[in-house]
Chains A and B, each alone.
Chain A
């Protein structure tokens, strides 16, 4: 457990991240709106245009929070590796938002986001599992790091489909990871998780239903890479996997249904359709991917707000189980 001074210092980074994200969103959204960098909210009957790429504010908040964490005495290599991963994934997101990348190139490029972790050596090639303990993977672990960051970045990106779905659920995940780090006394990792939590919470206030801003791939890839980097740097690989179960279910079910990597815009048989009364309904197209959204809508139509609430409940359940997994690791 952390002492009260260390806890206060890392908590302040969350406040800084929250404040910077919250304060930069309105001017950024206005600027993007004026330049026509907008996305259509396809799940609303009138299809309003919403400023896109506001994930830049999350990155700004994270940067400010991490600088304050560094000043508070956090471990520099961990902070630099985390920020490097976020920046690289965010840059790929910006490119994708401006000029959409192919379904194969985007995951391939996000491999680069793992490079700062490898270069700075901020990983331990002995992942810990319950009932087993530390498992030696000294030679292969770096290659798994190269795979892990693209997986988390793109899995998060694939669930960023509704107002507040990504920001709301990842806020819960980042808070859970912060709690796990607090319990295991990892001050810097807790600071990283709280910084992400602060930024996401501020962003969620603007992104929740009805959304006033979209994060775009800039936000979702950066946040996904951040969670992946947290799992590796904080040495909580299994805990993070369990916390991300709704994301993993969504990504794997989609990929297994389509049989290859895909972009949402490429899928012609739509998994979900908007009804005239504003509710969303699962289609009965056999070739459409069975995504998490489609599973949520299997028993009948729902509003967008209700779907996101169900996703948040599922994430909360997964996070509770992630804490259970952490306790199992600690006990065994």
Chain B
């Protein structure tokens, strides 16, 4: 069971990386197109900052799921032992 649960977690993280990157890249291109300014470096920096912010929130979400799984499993384990 635990391999299934952890595999599901790894699957979620991996698939959200694969598809999430596409969403993030498309979002940054849409919000910050190159045609917006002559200063390419500004657009590139803003794109990376935006991508990092989105990635950070995505990682926090994955962490919240991991925390939930861990503490729920510990609680169930303790209940079974008592």
Contact = CB atoms under 8 A, between A and B. Distances in A.
Nearest to B21: A129
Contacts of B48: 137, 140, 144
A298 B17 contact: no
Contacts of B44: 136-140
A147 to B, nearest CB: 10
Interface string B5-23: 1110111011101110110
Interface stretch (A169-177, A244-252, A262-270): A244-252
Contacts of B13: 245, 248-249
A112 interface: no
A317 B11 contact: yes
Contacts, number: 110
B3 A299 contact: no
A155 to B, nearest CB: 13
Contacts of B73: 298-299
Interface stretch (A59-67, A101-109, A222-230, A321-329): A321-329
Contact of A284 (B9, B11, B74): B74
A131 to B, nearest CB: 4
Interface residues of A, number: 40
B36 interface: no
Contact of B14 (A131, A245, A252, A298): A245
B1 A299 contact: yes
B21 A256 contact: no
Interface of A is mostly: helix
Contacts of B6: 295-296, 310, 314
Interface of B is mostly: helix
Contacts of A248: 13
A321 B22 contact: no
B55 to A, nearest CB: 10
Interface string A292-323: 00111011100000000010011001100110
A132 B40 CA distance: 19
Given A137-B48, A310-B2, A313-B7, 4 more contacts: A249-B66, A313-B3, A318-B14, A324-B18
20 contacts: A129-B25, A132-B21, A132-B25, A138-B44, A140-B41, A241-B17, A245-B10, A249-B9, A249-B13, A252-B59, A284-B74, A295-B9, A295-B70, A296-B2, A298-B77, A299-B76, A310-B6, A313-B3, A317-B10, A317-B11
